[in-house]
A and B are shown apart, each in its own frame.
Chain A
Amino acid sequence: MSLAPADRSRGTQPPLLLPRRGARLSIFEIVLLLICVVLALVGIPQNLQDIAVLAFLWAGLALAWNIAGGYAGLISFGHAAFFGVGAYTSTILFVGFGITPWLGIWCSGLLSAALGTVLALICARLRGPFFILSTLAAAEVVRIAALNWATLTGGPEGLSIPPVAGLANMVFASKGTYVALMLAFLVAVYAITKWLEGSRYGYYLNSVRDDADAASAAGVNPLLVRTVAMALSAGLTGIGGSLFAQYFLYLDPTFIISPEVSFQFALLAAVGGLGTAVGPVLGSFLITPMSELLRSYLGNQAAGLHLVIYSALLIIVMLYFPGGIAGALARLSRRGGGS
């Protein structure tokens, strides 16, 4: 696939000015990965397994969002649509047709990617707030459709997956297996992000994000670049939606396609650091345990307190560290290394 019509002129020669960045893992990333793998293998204490599953899953989803939102500058508040379509696709295939979720998740990914392509073709010309609002509206259309198309989606009652444990069902009795599954998803999305960062296509993404006119003048097709980014991001989000369904075994349409879910992806990525690979992971590792612990300790007496803290944190991070946690860390390490 040729993304840039100007490619033919330099078939043999790699562009001189582009440093190969991000292709290698930093020490910090390797340590983080090792810690996660060791934890998943050795086993996480029972009461923390829930948190680990969610932290890994949300980290993967925030990374998937970040491909569109961070690298391509397509701030989408409609990713819940892809998440929901993914969750419904594999669940309907499994419950209705007996197709194993191991195949179903790929169908989820493809269908979500197709939806992402359509959305990008409609909205990718729009900029700034117009793009954001269009994605929000598109997700609402999908949500209302899912709520009302009861023969397919079960309508407002939602869908349940029979809790029969088994490898073929992708339903596991032990939460430790889910921890490994979600970690595999996270590592896969992380690897794709890292590959993207170092690849030619990653540079196209950034160039289109930073100045679409200049990118276009340099021979990059902004619409195509944006569409591919959106499709990739949507497809990965769809797969994440299937995994979410396999873990909770119940789909509540008022939650899974809600604006809250879309905001969640965006907020985790933004707090962690947009357009960085490690940022969304750090964002999820920080916020998911915090909100889960607050939720379980405070329970119903203070419904919403975790979101109050979380949103206050978001405002502060955005105003004082627009680069997120990853940006702040990079600044710290530069300062430390420079002196």
Chain B
Amino acid sequence: MATLGQLVLSGIFIGGIYALMSMGLTLIFGVLRVVNFAHGEFLMLAMYGAWAMTRLLGLNPYLAAIAIGPAMFLFGAIVHQLIVRRALDKPHLVVVFATMGLSIFMQNVALMVMTADLWDVPPIFSRSVEVGPFYFKAELLVGFAVTIACTAILQWLIRTTYLGKAIRATVQDGEAAMLMGIPVPRIFLLTFAGGSALVGLAACIMMPLFSVFPTVGLNFVLIAFVIVVLGGMGSIEGALLGGICIGVVQSLSSYYVAPAYGQMFYFILFLLVMVFRPNGLLGQKGSATIGIND
């Protein structure tokens, strides 16, 4: 029983971190209706940034977030202006292939610059946290807390601020929003850049827990896609729920079945959701089958 509890709780916490990494993706999808296939490489870039600041400047990775977040915001803005913006009015596969190209580009530049070696940072906390019969890595708990905080702040931002209202108006009807004087292109730019900044934050939270290497993004982006679709594309609280589901499935299946099959389970879960609930657990009705991005 204690093992089961430990596994479920660890799964929830690691799932929270996966959710944080997926929030930028779901935000960008929800507003721009664009799947950024280079999302994993954004994460990889930010992780290298966090690694460099920790190893070369001797900063704490959490402190590095203060620099990495804005840097990724800027990077996202540049990518949006150079690539995504130009692809928005074209058939959706243009943006798919363009971001896919960007993903391969970034992976291989990283391979050339950083080689294929794995890099990591030393753990931040020297001991695990003990709660009753359970033990947790303190970094996991910090990550989970940041995820909850981010979910709350994003919800507040989208529900109450002027920017959030403009974003929601853009999502509901871009043309009408434009007629009401909302600068839709600037909303797109801000959302894409903001989503990228969120990935930067996630990278700083993940750096003490995972190693970074050029194809690290590929591993995580598949998890992020599963989470985003599971939670319903564009839904922030859905991403949190989806992340926790994936975390628990991964944690249980790698203990009870076999670690190698852990990944397979969440892909199967993903396919099942696609077959039986294509809108995700909390997503917009019909988004998967009416082809909102066609």
Contact = CB atoms under 8 A, between A and B. Distances in A.
Interface stretch (B63-71, B90-98, B139-147, B242-250): B90-98
Nearest to A302: B112
Interface stretch (A84-92, A94-102, A133-141, A199-207): A133-141
B229 A133 contact: yes
Interface in A116-152: 122-123, 125-130, 132-134, 136-138, 140-141, 144-145, 147-148
B274 A128 contact: no
Interface residues of A, number: 41
A125 B271 CA distance: 13
B102 A145 contact: no
Interface in A311-336: 311-312, 314-315, 318-319, 322
Contacts of A125: 278, 289
A311 B229 contact: no
Contact of B225 (A133, A266, A302): A133
Interface stretch (B16-24, B130-138, B261-269): B261-269
B97 A270 contact: yes
A305 B292 CA distance: 36
A308 B105 contact: yes
B267 A75 contact: no
A315 B83 CA distance: 8
A137 B271 contact: yes
A148 B258 contact: yes
A319 B83 contact: yes
B289 A129 contact: no
A75 B222 CA distance: 17
A270 B258 CA distance: 38
Q: Give the one of B92, B103, B108, B291 with max A CB within 10 A.
A: B108
B273 to A, nearest CB: 10
Contacts of A312: 101, 105
B270 interface: yes
A125 B291 CA distance: 10
B294 interface: yes
Contact of B104 (A134, A310, A318, A319): A310
A141 B91 contact: no
A240 interface: no
B43 to A, nearest CB: 16
A100 B94 CA distance: 42
A134 B101 contact: no
Nearest to A210: B294
Interface residues of B, number: 52
Contact of A141 (B87, B112, B267, B287): B267
A231 interface: no
A153 B274 CA distance: 29
A41 to B, nearest CB: 36
B109 interface: yes
B150 interface: no
B112 A315 contact: no
Interface string B31-67: 0000100000000000000000000000000000000
A308 B93 contact: no
A290 to B, nearest CB: 14
Contacts of A304: 107-109, 111-112, 214
Interface in A265-288: 266-267, 270, 274
A308 B112 contact: yes
A145 B111 CA distance: 28
A327 to B, nearest CB: 12
A134 B108 contact: no
Given A144-B260, A318-B97, A127 B105 contact: no
A172 interface: no
Interface in B73-107: 83, 86-87, 90-94, 96-98, 100-105, 107
A129 B288 CA distance: 8
B218 interface: yes
A137 B224 CA distance: 12
A104 interface: no
A144 B289 contact: no
B105 to A, nearest CB: 4
Nearest to B292: A128
A241 interface: no
Nearest to B270: A137
B86 A319 contact: yes
A137 B96 contact: no
B172 interface: no
B264 A267 contact: no
A195 interface: no
A315 B261 CA distance: 35
B264 A144 contact: yes
Interface of B: 29, 35, 83, 86-87, 90-94, 96-98, 100-105, 107-109, 111-112, 116, 214, 218, 222, 225-226, 229, 233, 258, 260-261, 263-264, 267-268, 270-271, 274-275, 278, 287-294
19 contacts: A122-B271, A128-B92, A128-B294, A129-B233, A130-B287, A132-B35, A138-B267, A140-B264, A141-B271, A148-B261, A266-B97, A303-B116, A308-B105, A311-B104, A311-B105, A314-B104, A315-B98, A318-B87, A318-B97
Given A122-B274, A318-B87, 7 more contacts: A125-B278, A147-B260, A304-B112, A307-B107, A308-B112, A312-B105, A318-B97
